[in-house]
Amino acid sequence: MKPAVLITKRIYPEAVDLLRSRFEVDYEATDDGMTAEQLRERIRGKQGVVSQLTDKFTRDVLATLEGIRVIANVAVGFDNVDVAAATEAGILVTNTPDVLTDTTADLAFALMLAAARRLVEGHHFVHSGEWKKWAIDLLVGQDVHHRTLGIVGLGRIGQAVARRAGGFSMRILYSDAFRASEQAERELKAEFVPLERLLGESDFVSIHVPLSAATRRLIGAEQLRLMKPTAILVNTSRGPVVDEGALAEALRGGVIGGAGLDVFEQEPKVHPGLLNQPRAVLAPHIGSASVETRRKMSMMAAENALAALEGRRPPNLLNPEAWERRSEKTA
Ligand code: DGY
């Protein structure tokens, strides 16, 4: 009998076709998420799941899944899956790194430029017909070039942002749990500093850490107070890394100068203090949303699921321990 796969939400059709060519596929082309109960129900009798960041595979959910061999997440982030619990349950977990690095870095830069140069305010000003004359200080913003950029998390996406910043002749500071190699620091002209110093010296702070217990609310009221009153905070990582209430308050009180946000604590809800805040440029979690990248992410997840269900090690495996344990059993 062919293995059965659940695709939880809409993905690019070629990825669905690939899975259908080898497996029984349960797929509804919908963007609606599933509750834990619905997820459990639909997964029953399947061996693989192609999931998205809105599907929550908590320890409790994972404990009830029988026969599942792989969860192939269509995202680089995997905070929606308790990977330790999946490993214990012998479930392989995969993600879609690399293909979205440059696309996400582009959006971080777009948010930085838009917030600094008040692009969204300008857009509304023109569309609403308010623009009547040119004035010397009409919508004056901040320069990005030759300013200091603080990158929190110099992983793949953080490095891609640093490369773009080089083109804008920016000074680059970074903080991270681990220091980058000397070669990377030299190439990117990035200086490793403690987070407090980065916050105090940067004109722009761009966040690129994964969400974990250590990074949840990494930026709260205390950290925002360390920033310059003109500084702009950009977040394209995960919403809960920033305390949204504290950020709304900091923008309202002029503690910092602006924000460019693609991610939120409780998507698709946005803190009311950020809505209608002219200094906050907001996007609906579209960091990796180019046609090419989202198509590649869909295909990568399908290929990961395919490999796992055909007994091959998936290319983007997050928990090799689960694979090794499985190989020991079959040896
Ligand atoms: C990811 O891949 O983690 C993004 O946030 C979703 O595209």
Q: Which residues of 258-271 are buried (b: 16+ CB within 10 A; e: fewer)?
A: bbbbbbbbeeeebb
In three-state secondary structure terms, 62 is helix
Is residue 279 part of the annotated active site? The answer reads no
**Element holding 205 (H helix, E strand):** strand 204-207
Q: Which atom of ligand 1 is nearest to the CA of 294?
A: 7
Ligand 1 centroid, distance to 76 Cα (angstroms): 5
Instruction: Calculate mean pLDDT across residues 71-100.
Output: 98
Spatial CB neighbours of 257, under 8 Å, sequence gap ≥ 6: 142, 228, 229, 230, 231, 232, 279
* Residues 12 and 120 occupy one common structural domain: no
* Residues 207 and 165 occupy one common structural domain: yes
Q: Cβ atoms within 10 A of the Cβ of 76, count?
A: 23
Q: Is 287 in the pocket of ligand 1 (CB under 6 A)?
A: yes
Task: Answer yes or no: is pLDDT of 135 > 80.
Answer: yes
* Residues 10 and 136 occupy one common structural domain: no
Active-site annotation holder among 37, 41, 196, 267: 267
Assign residue 134 the CATH number of its domain.
Answer: 3.40.50.720
Residues 180 and 158 sit within 8 Å (Cβ to Cβ): no
Q: Is 48 in the pocket of ligand 1 (CB under 6 A)?
A: no
> pLDDT tens digits, residue range 269-323?
999 999 989 999 999 999 999 999 999 999 999 999 999 999 999 999 999 999 9
- Ligand 1 mutation target, pool 10, 12, 51, 53, most atoms within 8 A of CB: 53
Ligand 1 centroid, distance to 75 Cα (angstroms): 4
In three-state secondary structure terms, 331 is coil
Domains of the chain: total = 2
* Residues 122 and 225 occupy one common structural domain: yes
Q: Is 322 in the pocket of ligand 1 (CB under 6 A)?
A: no
Task: Give the whole-angstrom CA distance, residue 327 versus residue 21.
Answer: 26
Task: Answer yes or no: is pLDDT of 5 > 80.
Answer: yes
Ligand 1 centroid, distance to 254 Cα (angstroms): 31
Q: Is 76 in the pocket of ligand 1 (CB under 6 A)?
A: yes
Instruction: Calculate mean pLDDT across residues 168-177.
Output: 98
Residue numbers of the domain that contains 88? 4-99+291-330
Task: Give the whole-angstrom CA distance, residue 320 versus residue 92.
Answer: 8
Is residue 294 part of the annotated active site? The answer reads no
Q: Is 100 in the pocket of ligand 1 (CB under 6 A)?
A: yes
Q: What's the predicted TM-score (pTM) here?
A: 0.97
* Residues 227 and 324 occupy one common structural domain: no
DSSP state of 117: T
* Residues 265 and 147 occupy one common structural domain: yes
* Residues 86 and 229 occupy one common structural domain: no
* Residues 173 and 317 occupy one common structural domain: no
Ligand 1 centroid, distance to 100 Cα (angstroms): 8
Instruction: Calculate mean pLDDT across residues 248-266.
Output: 98
Q: Binning pLDDT at 50, 70 and 90, where does residue 331 land?
A: low
* Residues 193 and 85 occupy one common structural domain: no
* Residues 139 and 257 occupy one common structural domain: yes
Ligand 1 centroid, distance to 256 Cα (angstroms): 27
* Residues 190 and 325 occupy one common structural domain: no
Residues 161 and 109 sit within 8 Å (Cβ to Cβ): yes
Residues 234 and 247 sit within 8 Å (Cβ to Cβ): no
Specify which residues 280 forms β-bridges with: 259
* Residues 271 and 297 occupy one common structural domain: no
Residues 47 and 68 sit within 8 Å (Cβ to Cβ): yes
